[in-house]
């Protein structure tokens, strides 16, 4: 009723009444009559404003008020209420107006003036940035071969470093205690024919052209503009590059200044040139062991400040993108003896003397796996074993090299090429350090993606170490390289733990892995018990939960194996969360009653505890399946430098990325601050004593979410830190796959790779990773019942010293076919039971006695490579032979049956086992 008249009209009415009242010309009766008339008249309805005016007018005039039958107290209350209301309204209106104005100003500022969209600065925690070594006298650039330094080396001989600025040639001269000598060149000596070609010059342009690339001490990736796709040159090829050399302690330093000339066009259409430049310095020196250290100090990479140099109009952004130092120091020619050792998956060998299929792309894999923030594939990359160790090697008879990425390893890739690539005649291998990353971003809704270079660089110093060993009386192999790596990483773990740097204080809580700290009686079978997953095809409002095993049935599985006397089994529960294996990690602990509920899980845990069985919870830590519940995308999800949320891509059954999923990577810092303690407490509440942490050992990524910005190098330290916190609360902590940083503190590694990538450049898979880890940390194979060749899978696990894994369910797995967990083809416990018992007995006889030993040897018995019988030797003298062939084979220690195993103990006792 109050709303039927406009405010304006009401005010008018009120004003009229007020005026009348104020004039005191209206008698009480008239006023009452008027008031009554106002109330009763249909056209003039009472409004609050009118009422307010009348009450206000009557406050000072008792008679008038009496005549109007207005109670004073009521009127005061009413007026007070109105005052407050008015005040509130004013505050609201003022606040909203201010906000609107502020937002408008903000939008105008950001949109019209562009604004700085926020260059993300990463913290410097765990980023090593040392001062460059002081430089001494300059070395003349046209000087011939000059001895720089000579030090005693770990072989009992000396290592001398020489350098010829005129030829850009670095030479290491090595001797050992026996007097063996070896000369290492930073680029391969030209063949006689090539030398002739060089002298003839233009008549043989191939060599002349390539000489600049080959002799470059640095291979540099840089851009002159954000959209030019980047350039990749040997430093000697870069037009106008200025090079200076200086003495430093036990070595020398090369300083490069790279000019970039950009042609621009002004508004009149005239062109003009602008010169930019950046510089970098590289230190080459020998350490106390005679190893060659190559260091690119961050402080020596000098670029013009972003704002001055970055030209928005032309999108010019001359920047360093990547640096590879001494790219050809390990170069070999086709037909040479020996091979490269790469830690690809379990480890791979690339021989120089085998016919090679033409390839166009260099082998380039990041240490610690792909970073999905930057590595974008149109189709799934299925040749995808990843690199677990920050090292590679080269072996040639009595000469071996092991090269370590010492600092900023998480930003390094191993780069390997074969003859024909880059128009070169060599095999080559080196580290490629990513100073900045290229990333893809859409700049419109058309779906077209463009490649950009990230602006900030949070990386610290790049440091590599080349360790050469020579012995003319020995034939080295990948086993020796693996041992070098093992020694290197164990030392590194201890260095981190004993470091004065407070960033590493968290390691004080735990013992990093070493043979002394190792579990002396490890479980020899990992039995994964799969609980449930959600039917992904279900479109109903209540998605169907496909239960494969309830907690009660899991208990029966534990009971049955225990009854059989299979005492050394660890059990791992997968998919126990409410939504199953691909459930949302933000809500882990609401457990479905259909699998037994919280009570059932607690009961299972207490049963396991009572029976002294190791029962572990498989925990998804960082992959968000669906939208992040209880958090916003902005808080919890990883972004790329283009500020887009990064999707975790799932490969569908047909082998392409599934576009229907909205999965994300969780920001590690979000996990750190919001999830870590919840997870630890939740798992403790459920009674778990052991945890298998997903992602910690097999997934590493950068986060450009401004809220949580974090580099790979930092993320891995956070992982290690979390693992130490888990270790403080749980008996054992396991990780998957086994990246080196995670192996430093994990008790077990699950699903360790037992082969290398399916690439033509990798000729053979070898157990480098296993040789590094055996005796330091226990590791388990992938589930053998998932393999298409069960026998081969068991044999490979035994050969590589990996304890066996089985994955079981209580029911047959037909119902999993429409879930994401759809490649578990056979897993019914009852059907697999006999195989599990057999596998247990095999592991018990073959692997249990050597569980705490180092692997000291590994070789093919019946051929140089790719034979049927392989032998693995352990430090306690045990030799284990495995025969992949379908006929029995003789070995020096006895006959190994077809598809069987031969175990020769140190006392010469030989025992065989059949696997098939």
Contacts 24+ apart (CB under 8 A), 868-876: 869/896, 870/799, 872/767, 872/799, 872/800, 872/801, 874/774, 874/801, 874/850, 875/775, 876/849, 876/850, 876/906
Whole-angstrom distance, CA of residue 416 vs CA of residue 239 = 26
Q: What's the min distance (Å) between Cβ of 419 and another protein?
A: 9
C-beta closer to another protein: residue 311 or 707? 707
What is the per-residue binding string for another protein in 422-461, x denoting contact by CB under 8 A? -----------------------x----------------
Bin 348: left if φ > 0, else alpha if -120 < ψ < 50, else beta: beta
The answer to the question of residue 2 lying near another protein (CB under 8 A) is: no
Q: What's the min distance (Å) between Cβ of 866 and another protein?
A: 5
Closest CA to 666 of 633, 689, 617, 618: 633
**If 0-12 CB within 10 Å is exposed, 13-18 middle and 19+ buried, where does residue 334 land?**
middle
C-beta closer to another protein: residue 589 or 818? 818
Which listed range, 241-249, 613-621, 653-661, 669-677, lies at the site for another protein (CB under 8 A)?
653-661
Q: What's the min distance (Å) between Cβ of 372 and another protein?
A: 17
C-beta closer to another protein: residue 122 or 704? 704
In order of 481, 695, 819, 889, 893, the CA distances from 861 in angstroms are 20, 37, 44, 10, 11
C-beta closer to another protein: residue 465 or 796? 796
C-beta closer to another protein: residue 3 or 788? 788
Helix (H, G, I), strand (E, B), or coil: what is residue 501?
A: coil
Residues 844/524, Cβ–Cβ less than 8 Å: yes
The answer to the question of residue 813 lying near another protein (CB under 8 A) is: yes
The answer to the question of residue 822 lying near another protein (CB under 8 A) is: yes
Kindly determine how many residues on this chain lie close enough to bind another protein according to the rule CB under 8 A: 67
Among 19, 30, 156, 760, binds another protein (CB under 8 A): 760
SS3 content of the chain, % helix, strand, coil (to 5): 30, 30, 40
Residues 363/343, Cβ–Cβ less than 8 Å: no
Whole-angstrom distance, CA of residue 216 vs CA of residue 239 = 13
Whole-angstrom distance, CA of residue 352 vs CA of residue 84 = 89
Phi, psi of 815 (to 5 degrees): -70, -10
Residues 787/839, Cβ–Cβ less than 8 Å: no
C-beta closer to another protein: residue 543 or 682? 543
Q: What's the min distance (Å) between Cβ of 19 and another protein?
A: 50
Whole-angstrom distance, CA of residue 398 vs CA of residue 297 = 34
Chain positions 77 to 106 lying near another protein, rule: CB under 8 A, are 106
Q: What's the min distance (Å) between Cβ of 206 and another protein?
A: 16
For 592, the token pair is 């479905």
The answer to the question of residue 831 lying near another protein (CB under 8 A) is: yes
Whole-angstrom distance, CA of residue 422 vs CA of residue 232 = 11
Among 29, 307, 361, 500, binds another protein (CB under 8 A): 361
Chain positions 507 to 536 lying near another protein, rule: CB under 8 A, are 535
Whole-angstrom distance, CA of residue 330 vs CA of residue 341 = 12
C-beta closer to another protein: residue 113 or 272? 113
The answer to the question of residue 355 lying near another protein (CB under 8 A) is: yes
The answer to the question of residue 11 lying near another protein (CB under 8 A) is: no
The answer to the question of residue 838 lying near another protein (CB under 8 A) is: no
Chain positions 362 to 391 lying near another protein, rule: CB under 8 A, are 379-384
Among 494, 589, 818, 833, binds another protein (CB under 8 A): 818
3-state secondary structure 287-333: CCCCCEEEEECHHHCEECCHHHHCECCCCEEEEEEEEEECCCCCCEE
Give 161's strand partners.
149, 172
C-beta closer to another protein: residue 152 or 822? 822
Among 12, 125, 568, 817, binds another protein (CB under 8 A): 817
C-beta closer to another protein: residue 2 or 109? 109
Among 42, 202, 814, 886, binds another protein (CB under 8 A): 814
C-beta closer to another protein: residue 167 or 815? 815
For 238, the token pair is 């870069």
Which listed range, 553-561, 590-598, 753-761, 766-774, lies at the site for another protein (CB under 8 A)?
753-761
Q: What's the min distance (Å) between Cβ of 872 and another protein?
A: 17
Among 499, 823, 841, 906, binds another protein (CB under 8 A): 823
Whole-angstrom distance, CA of residue 852 vs CA of residue 874 = 9
Q: What's the min distance (Å) between Cβ of 491 and another protein?
A: 34
Residue 402 CA, chain-centre distance (Å), reads: 24
Half-sphere exposure of 333 (CA within 13 A, CB side): 7
C-beta closer to another protein: residue 137 or 382? 382
Q: What's the min distance (Å) between Cβ of 67 and another protein?
A: 52
Chain positions 843 to 872 lying near another protein, rule: CB under 8 A, are 866
Q: What's the min distance (Å) between Cβ of 345 and another protein?
A: 10
Task: Give the distance between the most distant pair of CA atoms in the chain.
Answer: 131
Among 358, 444, 520, 887, binds another protein (CB under 8 A): 358
Among 140, 198, 242, 758, binds another protein (CB under 8 A): 758
The answer to the question of residue 816 lying near another protein (CB under 8 A) is: yes
Phi, psi of 605 (to 5 degrees): -65, -40
Whole-angstrom distance, CA of residue 859 vs CA of residue 872 = 7
Whole-angstrom distance, CA of residue 316 vs CA of residue 303 = 13
Whole-angstrom distance, CA of residue 365 vs CA of residue 376 = 13
Q: What's the min distance (Å) between Cβ of 461 and another protein?
A: 32
Chain positions 153 to 172 lying near another protein, rule: CB under 8 A, are none
Q: What's the min distance (Å) between Cβ of 91 and another protein?
A: 25
Residues 387/368, Cβ–Cβ less than 8 Å: yes
In order of 107, 315, 316, 438, 863, the CA distances from 226 in angstroms are 26, 6, 6, 10, 52
The answer to the question of residue 236 lying near another protein (CB under 8 A) is: no
The answer to the question of residue 728 lying near another protein (CB under 8 A) is: no
C-beta closer to another protein: residue 673 or 825? 825
What is the per-residue binding string for another protein in 777-796, x denoting contact by CB under 8 A? ----------xxx--xx--x
Q: What's the min distance (Å) between Cβ of 786 and another protein?
A: 9
Whole-angstrom distance, CA of residue 631 vs CA of residue 624 = 11
Chain positions 535 to 594 lying near another protein, rule: CB under 8 A, are 535, 537-541, 544
CA angle 199, 203, 207 (to 5 degrees): 60
The answer to the question of residue 177 lying near another protein (CB under 8 A) is: no
Q: Where does this chain bind another protein (CB under 8 A)?
A: 106-107, 110, 115, 117-118, 354-355, 357-361, 379-384, 420, 445, 535, 537-541, 544, 634, 643, 651-660, 755, 757-760, 763, 765, 787-789, 792-793, 796, 812-814, 816-818, 822-823, 825-828, 831, 866
């Amino acid at each position: 009723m109050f709303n039927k008249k406009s405010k304006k009209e009401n005010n008018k009415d009120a004003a009229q009444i007020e005026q009348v009242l104020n004039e005191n010309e209206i008698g009480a009766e008239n006023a009452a009559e008027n008031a009554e008339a106002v109330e009763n008249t249909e056209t003039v309805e009472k409004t609050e404003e009118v009422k307010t005016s009348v009450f206000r007018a009557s406050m000072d005039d008792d008679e008038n008020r009496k005549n109007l039958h207005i109670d004073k107290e009521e009127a005061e209350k009413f007026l007070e209420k109105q005052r407050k209301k008015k005040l509130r309204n004013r505050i609201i209106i003022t606040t909203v107006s201010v906000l609107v104005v502020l937002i408008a100003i903000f939008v105008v500022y950001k949109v019209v003036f562009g604004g700085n969209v926020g260059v993300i600065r990463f913290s410097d925690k765990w980023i090593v940035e040392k001062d460059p070594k002081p430089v001494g006298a300059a070395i003349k650039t046209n000087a011939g071969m000059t001895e720089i330094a000579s030090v005693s080396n770990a072989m009992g001989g000396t290592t001398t470093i020489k350098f010829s600025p005129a030829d850009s040639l670095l030479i290491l001269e090595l001797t050992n205690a026996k007097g063996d000598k070896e000369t290492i060149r930073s680029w391969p000596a030209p063949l006689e024919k090539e030398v002739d070609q060089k002298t003839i010059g233009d008549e043989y342009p191939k060599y002349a052209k390539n000489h600049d690339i080959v002799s470059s001490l640095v291979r540099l990736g840089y851009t002159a503009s954000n959209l030019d796709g980047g350039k990749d040159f040997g430093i000697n090829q870069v037009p106008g590059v200025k090079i200076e050399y200086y003495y430093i302690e036990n070595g020398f330093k090369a300083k490069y200044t790279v000019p970039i000339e950009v042609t621009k066009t002004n508004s009149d259409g005239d062109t003009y040139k602008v010169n930019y430049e950046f510089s970098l310095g590289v230190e080459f020196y020998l350490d106390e062991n005679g190893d060659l250290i190559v260091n690119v100090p961050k402080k020596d990479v000098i670029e013009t400040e972003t704002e001055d140099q970055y030209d928005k109009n032309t999108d010019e952004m001359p920047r360093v993108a990547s640096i590879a130092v001494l790219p050809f120091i390990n170069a070999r020619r086709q037909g040479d003896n020996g091979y490269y050792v790469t830690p690809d998956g379990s480890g791979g060998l690339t021989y120089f003397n085998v016919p090679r299929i033409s390839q166009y792309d260099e082998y380039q894999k990041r240490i610690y796996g792909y970073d999905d923030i930057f590595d974008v594939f149109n189709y799934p990359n299925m040749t995808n074993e990843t690199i677990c160790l920050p090292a590679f090697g080269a072996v040639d008879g009595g000469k071996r090299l092991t090269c370590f990425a010492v600092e900023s390893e998480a930003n390094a890739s191993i780069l390997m090429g074969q003859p024909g690539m880059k128009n070169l005649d060599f095999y080559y291998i080196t580290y490629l350090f990513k100073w900045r990353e290229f990333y893809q971003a859409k700049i419109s809704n058309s779906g077209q993606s463009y490649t950009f270079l990230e602006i900030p660089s949070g990386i610290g110093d790049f440091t590599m170490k080349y360790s050469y060993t020579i012995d003319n009386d020995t034939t080295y192999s990948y086993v020796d390289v693996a041992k070098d790596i093992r020694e290197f990483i164990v030392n590194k773990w201890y260095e981190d733990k004993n470091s004065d740097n407070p960033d590493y204080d968290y390691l004080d809580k735990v013992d990093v892995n070493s043979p002394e700290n190792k579990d002396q009686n490890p479980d020899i079978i990992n039995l994964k018990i799969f609980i449930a997953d959600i039917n992904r095809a279900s479109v109903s409002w209540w998605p169907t939960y496909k239960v494969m095993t309830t907690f009660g049935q899991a208990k029966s599985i534990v009971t049955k194996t225990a009854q059989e006397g299979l005492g050394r089994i660890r059990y791992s529960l997968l998919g126990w969360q409410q939504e199953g294996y691909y459930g949302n990690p933000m809500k882990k602990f609401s457990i479905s009653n259909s699998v037994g509920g919280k009570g059932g899980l607690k009961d299972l845990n207490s049963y396991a505890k009572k029976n002294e069985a190791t029962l572990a919870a498989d925990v998804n830590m960082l992959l968000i399946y669906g939208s992040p519940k209880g958090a916003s995308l902005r808080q919890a999800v990883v972004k790329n430098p283009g500020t887009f949320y990064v999707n975790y891509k799932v490969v569908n059954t047909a082998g392409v990325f599934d576009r229907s999923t909205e999965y994300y990577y969780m920001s590690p810092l979000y996990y750190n601050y919001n999830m870590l303690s919840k997870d630890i407490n939740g798992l403790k509440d459920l009674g778990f004593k052991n945890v298998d942490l997903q992602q910690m050992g097999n997934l590493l990524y950068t986060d450009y979410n401004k809220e949580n910005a974090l580099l790979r190098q930092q993320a891995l330290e956070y992982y290690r830190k979390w693992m130490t916190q888990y270790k403080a609360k749980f008996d054992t902590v396991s990780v998957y796959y086994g990246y080196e940083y995670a192996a430093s503190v994990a008790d077990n590694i699950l699903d360790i790779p037992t082969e290398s990538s399916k690439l033509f450049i990798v000729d053979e898979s070898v157990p480098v990773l296993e040789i590094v880890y055996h005796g330091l940390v226990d590791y388990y194979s992938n589930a053998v019942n998932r393999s298409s060749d069960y026998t081969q899978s068991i044999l490979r696990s035994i050969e590589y010293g990996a304890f066996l894994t089985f994955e079981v369910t209580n029911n047959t797995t037909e119902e999993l076919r429409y879930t994401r967990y759809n490649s578990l083809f056979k897993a019914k416990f009852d059907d697999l039971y006999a195989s599990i018992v057999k596998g247990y007995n095999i592991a018990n006889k073959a692997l249990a006695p050597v569980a705490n030993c180092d692997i000291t040897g590994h070789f093919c018995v019946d051929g140089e490579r790719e034979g049927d019988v392989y032998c693995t030797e352990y430090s306690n003298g045990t030799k284990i032979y495995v025969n992949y062939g379908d006929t029995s084979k003789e070995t020096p220690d006895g006959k190994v049956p077809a598809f069987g195993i031969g175990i020769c103990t140190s006392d010469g006792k030989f025992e065989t086992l059949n696997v098939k």
